[in-house]
Structure formats: structure tokens, C-alpha cells
Amino acid sequence: MGLRPNLLTRRTAGVASTTLALLLSTAAVGVVPAASAFSAAPARSCVEPADVHSDARVKAGAHAKHEPNELTAAQVREREADLAAVVAERARFRAGAGAAPLATVTIPVVVHVIQRDSTRAGGNIPDSMINQQISVLNQAYSGGTGGAATAFGFQLQKINRVTNPSWYPIISGSSAERSMKTSLREGGKNTLNMYLGELSDGLLGWATFPKKQLDKMDGVVVLSESLPGGTATNYNQGDTGTHEIGHWLNLYHTFQGGCSGSGDGVSDTPAEASPAYQCPTGRDTCATAGLDPITNFMDYTYDSCMYQFTPGQASRMLTAWNAYRAA
């Protein structure tokens, strides 16, 4: 599948049995298969709740859901204008104060494990899965799986276990989600709060984009069984975390904007007409140069298929960090 050797070493688990495993995992989470030609294909997808700039990823049936996700062109224009303004403002401030932008960043991570009860089915995943998730993030963001090295590393500060059936599953955009985050969020804009649990609607995860003013909704929500060694077949090598944190660091999907315009705002990710699912090697949906970036962490392919950020994405994340999240 065009995967790099070092990637294959890390990613042998999820590649083998597809259809049966998919059905099992779909049944296990109670997702109703989508009534469309694509219903047999598991899919990542993102939804855009009305009240916050956030993003979500789903494991099955995305094509039949009211097409979700991603930001509208108007939302992207608004966010890009805001980023440009903040970058300019920061540059003026630095010219006076002499504070240099950061080149490397260690992100403190606070993990909240939301549980219904003390069983594994009730969300009680072991610490070892969380430690492996941090390791997957550090590999992905350092270029250790074959992509560009980014500025970012991740350091686990704390695992906070919370048993609260009214927050389980975590429902995107709900008042329970707001209550959970308001109660639990820790740290400043530079602190990554990860909320792990069962998620509503077959979602794999969702994230908030950075913005000027910190609010309590800031953070990343990830299906606990998508962590390395979890039960979410094809999505259990930790790259839901990698993908959602990409959004938290200001990346869009590689298919944002389709074939025309500024796309995802990154020049070295070839344009892509629509999300790619599974691992469609050789896919090429736009007349512009380059095959679809199906191996990019910001597409919707299987964990076993995605292994890289590009230098342009690394640069975009660092610019946004210094604009929005740096102390």
C-alpha cells in the first residue's frame, strides 16, 4: 500500500481482516449501517456543531449522514482573516518587546478518562493505552513515522479518572459535554485537555480549533477504544488522537475546499475533491498536480494508511501556536 517500512513495523495490527472485523466493530458500538452505496465502507467523517468551531470524526456510515463536518468556505475565510490579524498583532508586539516566537514546543497533556463504571466496557481503559497514545503522538509529530518533523512534543501531566454516567457516552454539542468540560478543563491555552470515553453517533473524535480567547470547550475528545490496542478495528493505532490534535493545532482536512481555491491553506498537500476512506492507493481526484494525500494524518483513511504531516502543515501549526496558544 505504499507504506514505509518503519510504518509497517508499527502498524501491523489493524491491516489484516477487514469486512468481518468491521461488522463486528460496528455492531459492538451500535452504529446503524448507512443506507448508501458506501455503507459497507467504514468511514471517518467530521461534523460541525453549530455553536463552536470544532470538528468530529466518525467510524462508520458517514456517506449517509447529512454531510457533515468540515468548515464551510465562509468559516475558513473568517478563521484565516483572524489568524492573519493575530499574527500581525503579535509581530508588532514582538517588535516592541523583543519576545521571539517559539521554535519547539512541549505540550502538557491532561487526560480525562470518562467512565460509566469500573468495567472496560464502561470506559475503564488501562494507563498503558494512554502512555502508548502519548508515544504515538510523539512519533507522529516528530516525523518518526515518515512525515515531516513538527515543532511539537507531548508530555503527559496527569490522568484524571472520572466516573459519571451522565457524561457517558460523550455527546457532541450537548449540554453534558459543556458541563463535563467546564468542570474538568485544566491549564492555559497551551495545555491539551483530552477527554476519552465512548462517543455518540459512532464518532471517533472531535476537536476545537485555536482561537484568541480561551474558553472551557477547548480540547480534544477521542474514542477511548481508538487508542493503541483498543477495540476500534482499523482505527485503533492512535491516529484519531493524531488527527484531532492536528485540528487543535489549526490544521484543516486535506480535502477542505475540494479541488479549487486555497484548499487546506497548505501548499504541499495536493488538492483532493473529497475525503478518502480505507486506503485507496493511487487515488487522484483533482486535475491539479499530485495524487490525493491519502497518507496524510488529516485525511479520513485507516490508521494503517496515514503516517505523515507535510512541512507546510508543520509550519502552519507553529504559526498558529505562536499566534494563539503560546504563553
Min separation Cβ 50 and Zn ion, Å:
17
Q: Which of residues 79 and 116 has its CB atom nearest to Zn ion in the complex?
A: 79
Size of the site for Zn ion (CB under 5 A): 3
Residue nearest to Zn ion (CB): 46
Q: Is 228 helix (H, G, I), strand (E, B) or coil?
A: coil
Closest CA to 136 of 317, 320, 307: 307
Catalytic residue numbers, as ranges: 244
Q: How many helices, marked H, and strands, marked E, lie in the chain? A: 7, 6
Closest by CA to 150, choosing from 309, 322, 270, 319, is 309
- Contact region with Zn ion (CB under 5 A), list: 52-60, 187-195, 217-225, 263-271: 52-60
Q: Does 272 bind Zn ion (CB under 5 A)?
A: no
Q: What is the nearest approach in angstroms of Zn ion to the Cβ of residue 45?
A: 8
State how far the Cα of 132 lies from the Cα of 264, in Å rounded to an integer.
Answer: 29
Stretch that binds Zn ion, among 17-25, 50-58, 78-86, 169-177 (CB under 5 A): 50-58
Q: Which is nearer to Zn ion, 57 or 211 (CB)?
A: 57
Please say whether the beta carbons of 309 and 140 come within 8 A. Answer: yes
One-letter amino acid for residue 255 of the chain: F
- Find the binder of Zn ion among 48, 55, 218, 299 (CB under 5 A): 55
Give min distance, CB of 249 to Zn ion, in A. Answer: 12
> 167 vs 209, which CB is nearer to Zn ion?
209
**H or E element: which one contains 88?**
helix 73-97
Cα–Cα distance for residue pair 57/139, rounded to 1 Å: 21
- CA pair distance 59, 302, nearest whole angstrom: 10
Among 22, 29, 34, 46, binds Zn ion (CB under 5 A): 46
Cα 244–246–250 angle (5° rounding)? 115
Cell of 100: 521571539
> Which residue in 163, 158, 223 sits closest to 192, CA to CA?
158
What are 175's three cell numbers? Answer: 449540554
Lay out the site mask for Zn ion across 206-245 (x = CB under 5 A, - = otherwise).
----------------------------------------
Between 45 and 133, CB nearer to Zn ion: 45
Q: Which stretch binds Zn ion (CB under 5 A): 11-19, 41-49, 120-128, 218-226?
A: 41-49
Identify which range of 42-50, 134-142, 179-187, 308-316 contacts Zn ion by CB under 5 A. 42-50
Chain contacts with Zn ion (rule: CB under 5 A): 46, 55, 57
